[in-house]
Amino acid sequence: MPPAQFVNTYADTLPDLVTAIKPTAVYRPQVQIINQALWHELGLPTAWQDNDTLMGLLFNRDSELTKHSVAQKYGGHQFGQWNPQLGDGRGVLLTELITPDQQRIDLHLKGAGPTPYSRHADGRAVLRSTIREYLASEALHHIGIPTSRALCLISSAEPVYREQQESAALLIRTAPSHLRFGTFEYFYHDRPAGSSPDTAPDKLTQLMNYTLNTHFPEALAADNPHLAMLTSVISTTAQLVAKWQVAGFNHGVMNTDNMSIHGITFDYGPFAFFDDFEPHYICNKSDHQGRYRFSQQPSIGLWNLNALAQAFRPFVDVASLTDALDQYESILITQYHQLMVSRFGLNDVTDSALAMVAMFMELLQNPARDYHHSFRQLCGHSDWQSIKALRAEYVDITLFDQWVAAWESEVEAQQIDFATLQARLSGTNPHTVLRNHHAQAVIEAAQDGDYSLFNAYLSALSDPYNEQSKIERFASAPVAQDKGIALSCSS
């Protein structure tokens, strides 16, 4: 395989939108986890995996990874309020790569030390949040949800202070770019007071041109390339949120600075996969109003796209923006329905299939049942009798009987034989998802220097449909006191 090529198109093309900055060394850094499959896919030299070599690459000023490193400026709507004071406060864009298969990928170092956007904070990330981001991004990737990826986790002996003293860690992550909704919003709103909302500040024009040329070249052929680009972001965002809703994933902090223009899951904070199915669950303890509760994610996705669309006003008339935004809901619902029926082994989204899905969701709610376990329990049966025996687990057995009858007749109507049905169910309902109580156990072991639990959980999460990769401890539903752990934003 040819090696990766290093390029710096963002820093080179948009020098006024970044600040050149080098990572600040930490005390006793140690590479703990490397994503070997991803490392290989990116075409990075294997020799770089050596601890001293990698630390040299990260912390020497003129290495292949730091020669052109920058902090990117952005703003964002946080809990509905516009905040222009954001930017890479603890991360740097090391370099971009052209991978052996010609993908364009950012290498970003999170926890790299202070930058001009740190706002008096320490520029570090704690081990706890770094482990959570690593596990979550890999877990989502392996169940088919677009996301940034984790390439490498580095621990350190450097103390950092949050609610208590913790140790700093660094994460190298990858994404097609680190362009956020808030990047566009910032360069739109950063303008002389009183200027018309339909005029484009120079830096916004530069950013738009760069993004079109670099990331949305197919939009250049459209009558209005900016509209085509925005339409694409609307579509990928709608599909992403639909995937979260089907998978039972709560992002937790859908501020516009945490929304990627590539429609990928991005900037992991106090996220949670469901334990019990609670549609209005709030996983972020700092979210006092429940703005980002699970059931709000679809409408917040649209709210965020509206904020992004504002930055397109100088390039697209308002009626076209509105029309583009109007497509969001139907894209999301279509995707949601398709993926939801596929969790029951079905192909076709019929009214009767959707009624059957609604019955099952009702069964999961009253009383609340473990979301993932309830789906996975549909797998591994040899006949319908065996599936019907699950009724012993349900309180509302009348509804259970109605639901299973509706499912069986839908499977028949869609002409799916039982073996095919079972194969599909095992391929769409993971045996293992990331649970906060297991992540907590992994973190506590890692804080004591033991990464074996991390590796074990990661291997199950990386092969989540294959029964051979299942580890009972990580696959079972949690006991009552371990359910529904909510976390704060502190990381």
Angle at 320 between CA 318 and CA 325, to 5 degrees: 95
CB of 315 to ligand AMP, least distance (A): 26
| Beta pairing partners, 153 | 33, 171
CA R_g for the chain:
23
Q: Is 182 in the site for ligand AMP (CB under 6 A)?
A: no
CB of 259 to ligand AMP, least distance (A): 11
Per-position DSSP letters for 161-216, written without gaps between them: ESSSEEEEEEEEEEES---BHHHHHHHHH-S-TT--TTSPPHHHHHHHHHHHHHH-
Nearer to ligand AMP among residue 189 and residue 337 (C-beta): 189
Minimum distance from CB of 446 to ligand AMP (Å)? 19
Q: Tell me which DSSP letter residue 4 carries.
A: P
Part in contact with ligand AMP (CB under 6 A); list of ranges 82-90, 322-330, 410-418, 419-427: 82-90
Q: Are 281 and 271 in contact (CB under 8 A)?
A: no
The residue ranges that bind Mg ion (CB under 5 A) are 258, 267
* Per-residue mark of binding to ligand AMP, 201-240 (x: CB under 6 A): ----------------------------------------
Short-list 445, 457, 417, 463, CA closest to 127: 445
Interatomic CA distance for residues 395 and 382, integer angstroms: 24
Residue recorded with tokens 């949670």 = 272
CB 140 within 8 A of CB 265: yes
Min dist CB 29 to ligand AMP, Å, is: 17
Between 34 and 73, how does the x/- string for binding to ligand AMP read (CB under 6 A)? ----------------------------------------
Closest CB to ligand AMP among residues 87, 464: 87
Contact positions with ligand AMP (CB under 6 A) in 352-411: none
3-state secondary structure 88-138: CCCEEEEEEEECCCCCEEEEEEECCCCCCCCCCCCCCEEHHHHHHHHHHHH
Residue 81: both structure tokens together: 């309020």
Q: Which of 88, 257, 275, 276 is catalytic?
A: 257
Is residue 23 involved in binding ligand AMP (CB under 6 A)?
A: no
* C-beta of 130 vs 429, nearer to ligand AMP: 130
CB of 118 to ligand AMP, least distance (A): 4
According to CB under 6 A, which one of 56, 84, 89, 201 is a site residue for ligand AMP?
89
CA 76 to chain CA centroid, Å, is 17
Contact 199, 314 (CB under 8 A): yes
From Mg ion, ligand AMP, none, interface partner of 122 (C-beta below 5 to 8 A by class)? ligand AMP
Closest separation between CB of residue 31 and ligand AMP, Å? 21
Count Cβ atoms within 10 A of the Cβ of residue 472 and give its class: 0-12 exposed, 13-18 middle, 19 or more buried.
exposed
Is 257 a known active-site residue? yes
Q: Which residue is nearest to ligand AMP (CB)?
A: 89
Counting residues that bind ligand AMP (by CB under 6 A) gives 15
Contact 156, 28 (CB under 8 A): yes
According to DSSP, the residues that pair with 449 across neighbouring strands are: none
Rounded-to-integer distance, Cα 209 and Cα 203, Å? 10
Question: Is position 122 an interface residue for ligand AMP (rule: CB under 6 A)?
Answer: yes
Nearest approach, Cβ of 22 to ligand AMP (angstroms)? 16
113-121, 279-287, 357-365, 474-482 -> range binding ligand AMP (CB under 6 A)? 113-121
Picked from ligand AMP, Mg ion, none, the partner binding residue 65 (CB below 5 to 8 A depending on kind) is: none
The burial of 234, by beta-carbon neighbours within 10 Å (0-12 exposed, 13-18 middle, 19 or more buried), is given as buried
Distance CA 415, CA 380 (A): 20
Contact residue for ligand AMP among 23, 29, 123, 430 (CB under 6 A): 123
Among 22, 73, 77, 90, binds ligand AMP (CB under 6 A): 90
Give the nearest distance from C-beta 268 to ligand AMP in angstroms: 9
Contact flags string 249-288 toward ligand AMP, x per CB under 6 A: ---------x--------x-x-------------------
Is there a cis peptide before residue 430, judged by omega within 30 degrees of 0? no
Under the rule (CB under 6 A), what is the footprint of ligand AMP?
86-90, 117-118, 121-124, 258, 267, 269, 489
Catalytic residues: 257
